[in-house]
Amino acid sequence: MFQPFSDEQSRTLVNLAQQYEVWIEAERALRALPYDLRRKEIGGRAYLYEIHDRGGNGTSLGPWSDALEERFETYRLEKRAAKNRRDGSASALAETCRLYRALRLPLIASEAGTLLREADRRGLLGADLLLVGTNAMPAYSAEAAGFVEAPSETQDLDFAWAADQPADTQKVWPMLKAADASFTVNTERTFQARNAAGYEVELLIAPSRMATLARQDQPRPVPLPEQEWLLFGRPVDHVVVARDNAPVRIVAPDPRWFALQKLWLAEQPKRNPLKRDKDRKQGTEVLNAVHLAMPQYPLDGAFEQSIPTPLGSLYEIWKSRRPERPPVAW
């Protein structure tokens, strides 16, 4: 049966989300600034250089002038302020992460957390990328304010490209390489990237979104019609904690459509038999949690009428077996 979070567990989730927002805003502000600006003396003349990396590679912004001096001082002030905000929020955030872990709230794999934080620094979560698959389960527990008893971790990660506007530059590949420079594209499965430790990231896409992914971006996903269902409804958006005690934001598909797609996958003959039982359990338990604890995602007549034919019979089977809501205790 579905088990609601305790008051302390729920408070910790709220505090975690608030503290993470302060921290990630400072991280984004730092990322928006140049890596560094430096004054350099060359041939007896002063220049302002924008430094691009740790190796000191940079580009001259021109001979030193009053305007460039003002730009240099403004940069230093903005960078110091963003660092202070980031470092000042990190201590309280780390303490809340430890409390989260102590309260046995749902966790995500550390490797997935590293990738999701980098994606969030770049503003990709929600707008361009959704976390799909097993790693999204902690977000559904957070949305239900209770434990969804189904497998919640794997040693890989699935992103779905969800942008509805064309991207003119690479977004996924630079994010992967920033998170771990050892990522390379699997030449036999070009929708997949792997790092030196063998951790796999797959990029999935609905046919309707294929034109919005930059042509040069990697990995290169194969359009799958069933990915369209994960674009329906309203995504969930929650901050959880990884096994390395670091905070992680998850933006995942609407739980109703996630669950129905999982039930559909469990019936596909080509699906790995070892994954089918997990798919069926995840789909069933997420729909149960929606029914019992997510009134914000109604399973009403309007929703039922929107269900595509391939999913309709699966929904009816679940509906005939759904758990009864417990009686009101007051």
% of the chain with per-residue pLDDT over 70:
99
Is the dihedral angle over the CA atoms 207, 209, 214, 218 positive or is it negative?
Answer: negative
Q: Bridge partners of 84?
A: none
Residue range 157-181: mean pLDDT, rounded: 96
**DSSP E strand boundaries for 210-318:** 236-242, 247-252
Calpha distance 114→169 (Å, rounded): 22
Residue range 298-319: mean pLDDT, rounded: 97
Residue 318 Ramachandran class (φ > 0 left, ψ -120 to 50 alpha, else beta)? alpha
Residue range 18-35: mean pLDDT, rounded: 93
pTM above 0.85, yes or no: yes
Would you say 323 and 148 are in contact if contact means Cβ atoms under 8 Å apart?
no
Supply 154's token pair.
């794997």
Calpha distance 224→310 (Å, rounded): 14
In a 10 Å sphere around its CB, with 0-12 CB exposed, 13-18 middle and 19+ buried, how is residue 125 labelled? buried
Tell me: pLDDT of 272 over 80: yes
**Which of 7-21, 33-47, 162-176, 229-243 shows the lowest mean pLDDT across its residues?**
33-47
Phi first, then psi: what are they for 163, rounded to 5°? -60, 140
> How many Å is the maximal CA-CA distance in the chain?
83
Domain extent listing, the chain = 1-105, 106-321
What pLDDT shows up at residue 330? Answer: 79
May I ask the CATH class of domain 1-105? Answer: mainly alpha
Tell me: pLDDT of 152 over 70: no
Supply 233's token pair.
């409804």
